[in-house]
């Protein structure tokens, strides 16, 4: 073990002397996580300005305008009154408003008839979500109004005097549709973009350790260092353990530093320190196993770089390091669970939202360790050949 520790210290000294260690291990992940958080911030907190052109000024039209003043709608939509349709189109073209709702003249009177006037929503291809929000609010209002009318008709059919229609309509207007859809978040906390991309970028750059460590091994072998160590004599297992320890130490330090910096500087949430540390250690072990696998498969430094690049970017793309897995198609969500980084991101997301302790990470950690075991068995079978050839 003393020999393995000496080899690990040698590799770590070489890594620290290389300025890229600081860039790849800390600066780049923090910077990219911050930039991606800014880029996706608008997606998370979507708001827009709606222009309303009320040409009717009737009772029903006023009720529609008031519907956009509800607290839940007001948190997303800012309403601006418009003078005419030309100002609506000009406002959309200039980007001053995202959409416009046109209430035609005579709309309130037509609602009580057989063929009510149609409401129009003007929008551009640049803001399709705004049009969908407006249509949803109007559809909700229309459903409530239809329910009110049905209540009045039902009361009249049941024998209520026709002279009480106004009174019945007033009573119906105070009722609400009993069946409603309410958004109830499962997590105790909302997942912020920085809380997702901080672990995502940290894991992505941790995977680059595979490339550096495997290339370092072949550099040592080309310079005759591996042969000199074996002539010492140093067993092949000690050389491999020393290389593995250096990868584990560097990876652990990188994850810990990024977690501390992003939490303090950007308010990122990685979850409770204990469970988050366990997830990080499990992930580092998987990186160690992948490094050993690349060393066992490659026959030269160039081959090691090529194989490592495929592994790194393949895992990053499948695991969801560059995008929110929850927004991906079902097939991509399933593929993410075949990767250790995909399970790690799921664990960090659960810790940041649902919270909890070690029970929250049991399944992700078990999956990461299972992946590590499978890869490690193959790597152990190939590694002696890599050292001896």
Q: What is the DSSP string of 212-241?
A: HHHHHHHHHHHTTHHHHHHHTT--HHHHHH
Which pLDDT belongs to residue 165? 63
Which pLDDT belongs to residue 371? 95
Which pLDDT belongs to residue 322? 83
Give the CA angle between residues 326, 342, 34 to the nearest 5°.
70
Domain 47-150: which CATH number of 3.30.390.30, 3.40.50.1000, 3.40.1710.10, 3.10.129.10? 3.40.1710.10
* All CATH 3.40.1710.10 domain ranges in the chain, comma separated: 47-150
Residue at token pair 């973009």? 193
Give the tokens for residue 292.
Answer: 């050993």
Which pLDDT belongs to residue 332? 87
Q: Kindly provide the b/e burial profile for residues 276-299, where b requires at least 16 CB atoms within 10 angstroms of the residue's own CB.
A: bbbbbebbbbbbbbbbbbbbbbbe
Which pLDDT belongs to residue 216? 82
- Report the C-alpha gap between 176 and 233 in whole angstroms: 84
pTM above 0.85, yes or no: no
Asked if 319 and 338 touch (Cβ cutoff 8 Å), the reply is no
Residue at token pair 């790849």? 24
Which pLDDT belongs to residue 184? 53
Asked if 294 and 382 touch (Cβ cutoff 8 Å), the reply is no
* pLDDT means over runs of 10, the chain (389 residues): 73 71 72 70 66 86 84 83 89 88 84 72 80 83 75 78 68 59 57 85 89 82 72 68 82 88 85 92 93 87 90 92 79 90 92 85 94 91 67
Residues in the chain: 389
Strand bridging mode 99-103 / 120-123 = antiparallel
């Amino acid at each position: 073990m003393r020999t393995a520790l000496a080899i690990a210290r040698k590799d770590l000294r070489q890594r620290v002397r290389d300025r890229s260690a600081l860039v790849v291990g800390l600066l780049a992940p923090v910077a990219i996580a911050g930039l991606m958080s800014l880029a996706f911030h608008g997606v998370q907190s979507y708001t827009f300005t709606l222009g309303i052109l009320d040409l009717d000024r009737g009772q029903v039209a006023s009720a529609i305008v008031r519907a956009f003043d509800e607290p839940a709608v007001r948190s997303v939509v800012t309403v601006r009154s418009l003078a005419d349709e030309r100002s609506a189109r000009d406002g959309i073209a200039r980007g001053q408003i995202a959409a416009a709702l046109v209430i035609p003249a005579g709309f309130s009177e037509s609602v009580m008839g057989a063929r009510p006037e149609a409401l129009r929503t003007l929008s551009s291809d640049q803001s399709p979500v705004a049009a969908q929000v407006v249509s949803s609010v109007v559809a909700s209002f229309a459903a409530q109004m239809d329910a009110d009318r049905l209540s009045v008709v039902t009361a009249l059919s049941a024998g209520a005097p026709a002279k009480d229609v106004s009174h019945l309509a007033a009573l119906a207007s105070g009722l609400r549709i009993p069946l409603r859809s309410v958004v109830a978040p499962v997590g105790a906390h909302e997942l912020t973009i920085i809380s997702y991309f901080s672990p995502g970028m940290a894991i992505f750059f941790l995977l680059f350790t595979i490339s550096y460590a495997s290339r370092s091994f072949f550099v040592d072998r080309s310079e005759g260092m591996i042969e000199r160590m074996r002539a010492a004599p140093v067993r092949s297992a000690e050389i491999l353990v020393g290389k593995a320890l250096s990868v584990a130490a560097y990876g652990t330090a990188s994850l810990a530093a990024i977690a501390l910096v992003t939490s303090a500087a950007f308010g990122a949430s990685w979850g409770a320190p204990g469970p988050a540390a366990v997830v990080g250690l499990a992930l580092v072990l998987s990186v160690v196993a992948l490094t050993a696998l690349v060393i066992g498969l490659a026959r030269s430094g160039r081959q090691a770089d090529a194989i490592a690049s495929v592994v790194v970017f393949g895992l990053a793309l499948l695991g969801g390091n560059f995008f929110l897995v929850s927004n991906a198609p079902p097939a991509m969500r399933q593929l993410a669970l075949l990767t250790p980084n995909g399970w790690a991101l799921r664990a960090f997301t659960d810790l940041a939202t649902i919270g909890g302790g070690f029970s929250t990470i049991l399944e992700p950690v078990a999956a990461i360790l299972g992946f590590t075991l499978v890869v490690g068995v193959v790597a152990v079978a190939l590694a002696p050949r890599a050292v001896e050839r």
